[in-house]
Chain A
Amino acid sequence: MSVPVGHYQYDRIDRDFLQARIAEFEGQVKRRLDGTLSEDEFKPLRLMNGLYLQLHAYMLRVAIPYGILDSRQVRKLGKIARRYDRDYGHFTTRQNIQFNWIRLEDTPDILRELAEVDMHAIQTSGNCIRNVTADEYAGAAADELVDPRVHAEILRQWSTLHPEFTFLPRKFKIAISGSPNDRVAARFHDIGILARPGEDGAPLFRIFVGGGLGRTPVIGEELFDSVREEHLLATLEAILRVYNAHGRRDNIYKARIKILVQAIGVEAYREAVEAELAQMDLERYRLTPEAVAAIRSRFAVPLLEAPADADAVLTEQRRADPLFDRWVRSNTHVHRDPGHIIATISLKPAGGIPGDATSAQIGRLADLADAYSFGEIRITHLQNVVLGHVRKDRLRELWLGLSEVGLAEANIGLIGDIVACPGLDYCALANARSIPIAQKLGARFADTALQAEIGALRINISGCINACGHHHAGHIGLLGVDKRGEEFFQLTVGGQAENGAAIGTILGAALPEDETVDAIARLVDCYLGRRESGETFLETLTRLGHEPFREAAYEAV
């Protein structure tokens, strides 16, 4: 095959490294079985290889660095779904994929299959630096200032089996974007990085620290405004070093970096980081332009050629086909090349399970990526799929191909584009099932014309206070709670993940599942009845305050 577009090209040494990692894990499984490793000792080691024990089975979370795959890798994921799982996989909010029905004894074989296509499950779990996420439109979006993938790859490499930061107080998540329109929820990460070009052409990095959702939602605070590229790794080392030394280890719910930043304040944290930097040998940690260039050179660049009339062809096709036009309106984004467009494929069919894809769909996505987007596929943090470089005059063909496998849902960014955690159907921590209520809401708002009429509205659902469904960041958030053995949902409104990050506030008492669906329908009706021209749900909420919405939601209860 040709060099993949969009992600780093491995060489023999990288592949040997993956084989060594698998051999290491096999040895650890063997020592667990012969008893020389206790379960307590084995657990963090298996987690750092992506293997969780869930409610009913093992789950393997496979890393998709900065969310980008090539078609060969996608086909392999389809094969693993077919052969080792129940014929489907689940894309996660951290741009990874997880397989929910894995047998422990199959795991080394699965890891070996993944390694055949330069994939792994390293650091997708555990108290270490997790797989780094990036803007799903990286290298394609018209609004991008710096392509974040090269630095995301640098962070992937730097954080891989880091000798000092593999046994942190708690998990550690980093996201990076190079667009003024934050599409990575930078301020809800342990470290969020926004890149922009500096005067000399080299990027500058704005660094946020201490954001997160979970039990204690916190909006990250700016630690530094303009970190130079050469000092990026030194700065991250210093931030992590302060956290590793001083983060709480007595209570896992107080162990994230956000709790430390809150406890001492961001100014004190900055001083501590600066004190580390003052003592560090910065030359040793220096990220050289040569190293950056060497990594950049292992990314293939798509050759963007389109006929002069590509845009005109698309315009005419949209005019002729209102259904296609509706999909284009919700599911595409402006590409930096005028002859191309970014297409987002919804994994949120009405009544379906958010983020799930069957092996047949996964295989078809690989074929469509080959045919229409240089064999490249991106996974979004909202559990959808992106083809980043589609020629405008071929977009309709792609849409028709997607329709054949039920992947042409026109709901990106709309009320049907629901984010939900796996919930009590899979997860041992959950209090409530997230999937059935997501399916009911999806079915209630199935009409895509209605969804388009409602406009931008994000629903996030978490099955417990650990908030894996990011309910705090949803325009409407649902939190599953257990009330005397019954599943209830608490409603929050006003959350926002991206620019203008905000934590949603609780609207009122928790409701049973069916009443929750009705209450959300009334919230939406309230918005539709009271919005002024062009206003989104969030804008109307901001203008009117919560009271009319609270009244609407609870009027019939």
Chain B
Amino acid sequence: MKLFELGERTAQVHDVLVTVGELADRDDARAVLLESADDPALLRPYLNRLDLVVLRFPIFRDGRGFTQARELREYLRFSGEIRAEGHILPDQAAFLRRCGVDSVVLPKNGNGDPGLWEKQLRQFPVAYQRSVLPERSAGPGLRVEEAS
């Protein structure tokens, strides 16, 4: 498994990765796997002990993971690592990062080339809407850039 970091945070390695349903019985679990149909609010009782939430993308077109990441960051104030795995494309790198995802499990095919992921993160210097990242105006209007 090759990890790629989308931002500053260093990706963590965990021996135990459990499903949402298993969390209650596994006091030792520090990492949880969220399927795209799972409601992130189910994690609320466990957030203090979780270091990592892995969002599984069944297919790159299933965009529920983007909303899950934002809910984790914006509503649940989760400050641990969020990771995306499954069928994801380098073309989604900046979208994932802007929704609060820190790392990805690189796909095992041509989409796993870290150079492509790196390039995509730098593709657009500005964005036209706020994200979960620290940003400053790159106005006029709605335009923002990342605050470094």
Question: Are A and B subunits of one complex?
Answer: yes
Query: A residues engaging B (CB < 8 A)?
Result: 11, 13, 16-17, 20-21, 23-24, 27-28, 31, 34-37, 41, 44-45, 127, 154, 157-168, 233, 241, 244-245, 249, 279-281, 284-285, 291, 294-295, 297-298
Contact of B110 among A21, A37, A157, A161 (CB under 8 A): A37
A455 to B12, CA, bound (A): 71
Task: Please give, as numbers and ranges, the residues of chain B lying within 8 Å of A241 by CB-CB distance.
Answer: 67, 70-71
A41 in complex: contacting residue of B89, B123, B127, B130, CB < 8 Å: B89
Q: Which of B21-29, B48-56, B78-86, B91-99 interfaces with chain A?
A: B91-99
Complex interface: chain A residues within 8 A of B45 (CB): none
Pick from B67, B74, B89, B94: contact of A245, CB below 8 A: B67
**From B135, which residue of chain A is reached at the shortest CB distance?**
A284
Are B70 and A164 in contact (CB-based, < 8 A)?
A: yes
Which A residues lie within 8 Å of B110 (CB)? 31, 34-37
The answer to whether A24 and B123 touch (CB under 8 A), given A36-B109, A37-B111, is: yes
Among B60, B111, B127, the residue within 8 A (CB) of A36 is B111
Report whether over half of chain A's contact residues are helix, strand or loop; otherwise say mixed.
helix
| Tier of interface size on chain B | 35 or more
Find chain A residues with CB under 8 A from B74 CB. 279-281
| Contact (Cβ within 8 A) A291 B142 | yes
Say yes or no: B124 contacts A20, CB within 8 Å: yes
Choice from B61, B96, B124, B125 contacting A127 with Cβ under 8 Å = B61
Contacts of B138 in A (CB 8 A): 13
Question: How far apart are A234's CB and chain B's nearest CB, in angstroms?
Answer: 10
- Give B contacts to A, CB under 8 Å: 60-64, 66-68, 70-71, 74-75, 89, 91-92, 94-96, 98-99, 109-111, 113, 116, 119-120, 123-131, 138-143
- Give which listed residue, A16, A27, A161, contacts B128 with CB less than 8 A: A161
Chain A proximity of B79: nearest CB distance (Å): 15
Q: Which residues of A contact B92 (CB under 8 A)?
A: 167
Q: Which of A167, A279, A285, A291 contacts B141 (CB 8 A)?
A: A291
Whether A13 touches B131, Cβ cut-off 8 Å, given contacts A164-B66, A295-B141, is: no
Q: CB < 8 Å: which of A35, A161, A164, A294 contacts B67?
A: A164
Contacts of A159 in B (CB 8 A): 129
The distance in angstroms between the C-alpha atoms of A20 and B122, with both chains bound, is 10
- The answer to whether A157 and B141 touch (CB under 8 A), given A163-B131, A167-B63, A279-B75, is yes
Q: Is the CB of A157 within 8 A of B91?
A: no
From B71, B116, B143, residue with most partner A Cβ within 10 Å = B143
- Given contacts A11-B140, A244-B63, 11 further A-B pairs with CB under 8 A are A20-B124, A44-B60, A161-B95, A161-B124, A163-B66, A164-B63, A244-B67, A249-B64, A291-B141, A294-B139, A295-B142
> Can you spell out 7 A-B residue pairs with CB atoms less than 8 angstroms apart?
A17-B125, A24-B123, A36-B110, A157-B141, A160-B128, A166-B95, A284-B130
Q: Are A167 and B91 in contact (CB under 8 A)?
A: no
Query: Nearest Cβ in chain A — how far from B90, in angstroms?
Result: 9
A44 touches which of B61, B64, B123, B143 (Cβ 8 Å)? B61
Please give, as numbers and ranges, the residues of chain A lying within 8 Å of B63 by CB-CB distance.
164-168, 244
Q: How far, in whole Å, are A253 and B74 apart by their CA atoms in the complex? A: 32
Closest to A21 in B: B124
Alpha-carbon separation in the docked complex, A35 to B109 (Å): 10
Cβ-defined contact, B62 with A154, below 8 A: no
Contacts of B96 in A (CB 8 A): 163
Q: How far is the CA of A35 from the CA of B110 in the complex (A)?
A: 8
Instruction: Give the distance in Å from the alpha carbon of A291 to the alpha carbon of B101 in the complex.
Output: 28
Taking CB atoms, residues of chain A closer than 8 Å to B71 are 241
Do A157 and B66 touch across chains, with their CB atoms under 8 A apart? Answer: no
B126 cross-chain contacts in A, Cβ below 8 A: 13, 17
User: How far, in angstroms, from A20 to B121 measured CA to CA in the complex?
Assistant: 12
A41-B89, A164-B99, A245-B67 as given contacts; A158 in contact with B128, CB under 8 Å = yes
A20 touching B139 by the CB < 8 A rule?
A: no
Known: A20-B124, A157-B128, A158-B129. A167 touches B111 (CB 8 A): no
User: CA–CA, A21 to B125, complex, Å?
Assistant: 11
Complex: A17 Cα to B74 Cα, angstroms: 27
Report chain B residues within 8 Å CB of A27.
Answer: 119
Contact of A285 with B130 at beta-carbon distance under 8 Å, contacts A164-B63, A297-B140 already known: yes
A154-B141 contact given A163-B98, A164-B70, CB 8 Å threshold:
yes
How far apart sit A27 and B138, CA to CA, in the bound complex (Å)? 26
Could you say which of A13, A36, A167, A295 contacts B61, with CB atoms under 8 Å apart?
A167
Q: How far is the CA of A280 from the CA of B130 in the complex (A)?
A: 13
Residues of B within 8 A of A20 (CB): 123-125
